[in-house]
Structure 1
């Protein structure tokens, strides 16, 4: 049975209510990382060896981020969707296969670009920029579909506590180093309220070294105003 996402959203999340959204924070992090990498490739000085290497490494980091995200959704989110709406995750699953192929091609292109002499980089960099542009554009549409269509199914089939349990299981499967890399993009991409909620949750549930490392990461990547707001929110909640 297929569900109409707009109808389900209206039923499952009436106006004025806020449901648990497994996609919200990680998709903000992905969008931020994608935009950063795309802009970096577009403005890259291909005659500068260090800048070229650093930019290509950023692209490779984004590809690793996207690959892991696809795997996590396939393993945890899609089975939950299929439990209540068989076939509803088929489109996203097919697009994930396409994304994995794109990830491999873009990673290979970035690696190839790093190995070229400066005189041969400009054309390859332009091709990489276009490849990455298409990838980002498709992923933005894909994530928006998930946030509407998939959330509608999840909200209709699960309570917020159940959805939080699924997300907790997903996060528990992420290695610590990968989690820190996710947080590097997530923390500056969130709203002040979202950021404070995430950090309060970590303070309550994560080991102290993990929380301290996340706090140091926030201090590194937030501007002065953002950091002040986070400090104030954490102080209020302590």
Structure 2
């Protein structure tokens, strides 16, 4: 697949969200390996967080299918085959992980250790697959998108994907994307989110809640101070 335009777009659809997903998955994988099997409350909390992450991952892949793959196929017929196959492989893991999570819930305390280890290994396979696919998307498909679409079109795709999220989903996403980003990336992302909200005439309280509930708790105080100053400038 080769596209060599004179002036490629520069907007990166994948970088920020992929950093957040890697951050979230690394934390979940670590927690799965470290949780005490006899701590029922900790196990229940971890399973809830895992399910929330997998649900969000499925939604994000679905957004990509609608907002990226469909327009890409119109510009370059056949170009989405590998990307669609990668999405399908990752989605195939989800019912397996749900079955294993249910087995952990139903296991008696003495047998929960083995069930947790099985879930840990299965999730590690999912993470491995996802890491490879995300890297390929950034290395191989992002340049194709930048070759075929103008920056304004890519920004609009991203805005539509953000706009499809509810307030709580956006806050959850901010919790993983903000700490995973560089300071300049974090500021640019939140400026873009704020601009989206202004264009939609959303109440300003929505952005304030995003910062208070999603971003600020996820950042070190020094990082928050830098971000706050940037947003105020």
Calculate the TM-score normalised by the size of structure 1: 0.89
Match of 2:217 in 1: 220
Query: Who is 2:47 aligned against?
Result: 56
Inter-partner Cα distance in structure 2 for 1:51 and 1:88: 44
Q: How does 1:37-48 map to 2 (within 5 A)?
A: 37-48=28-39
Distance 1:204 1:73, change over 3 A: closer
- Structure 1 unaligned residues grouped into runs of 5+: none
Aligned position for 1:173: 164
Take 2:37 and 2:228, find their aligned partners in 1: how far apart are those partners?
40
Please state how far the C-alpha of 1:205 moved relative to its aligned partner: 3.6
**Correspondent of 2:60 among 53, 69, 72:** 69
The corresponding residue for 1:96 is: 87
> 1:200 deviation in Å?
2.2
Q: CA deviation at 1:202?
A: 3.1
Moved more, 134-143 or 89-98: 89-98
Distance 2:43 2:34 in 1: 10
Q: For the aligned residues, what is the CA RMSD? A: 1.8
Q: In structure 1, what is the Cα distance between the partners aligned to 2:223 and 2:113?
A: 37
Alpha-carbon distance, 1:11 to partner:
6.3
Shift of 1:198: 1.9
What is the CA–CA distance in structure 2 between the aligned matches of 1:157 and 1:32, rounded to whole Å? Answer: 30
Q: Secondary structure at the match of 1:174?
A: coil
Q: Report the Cα offset of residue 224 of structure 1.
A: 1.2
Indicate which of 187, 207, 210 corresponds to 1:211: 207
In the aligned structure 1, how far is the partner of 2:168 from the partner of 2:211? 15
Q: C-alpha displacement at 1:12, in angstroms? A: 5.6
Given that 1:200 and 1:234 are in contact with CA atoms closer than 8 Å, whether structure 2 keeps it comes out as: yes
Q: Distance in 1 between matches of 2:89 and 2:6?
A: 32
Alignment length, in residue pairs?
227
Residue 100 (structure 2) pairs with residue 109 (structure 1): yes
8 A contact 2:36–2:43 mirrored in 1: yes
CA contact (8 A) 2:61 2:87 kept: yes
Q: Alpha-carbon deviation of 1:176?
A: 2.5
Per the TM alignment, residue 51 of structure 1 is displaced from its structure 2 partner at its CA by 1.1
Q: Check conservation: 2:107, 2:115, Cα contact below 8 A.
A: no
Tell me whether 1:144 sits opposite 2:140 in the alignment.
Answer: no
Does the 8 Å contact 1:81/1:89 carry over to 2?
Answer: yes
Q: In structure 1, what is the Cα distance between the partners aligned to 2:144 and 2:193? A: 28
Contact 2:170 2:210 in 1 (8 A): no
Name the TM-score, length of structure 2 as normaliser. Answer: 0.91
- Measure, in 2, the Cα distance between the counterparts of 1:104 and 1:81: 28
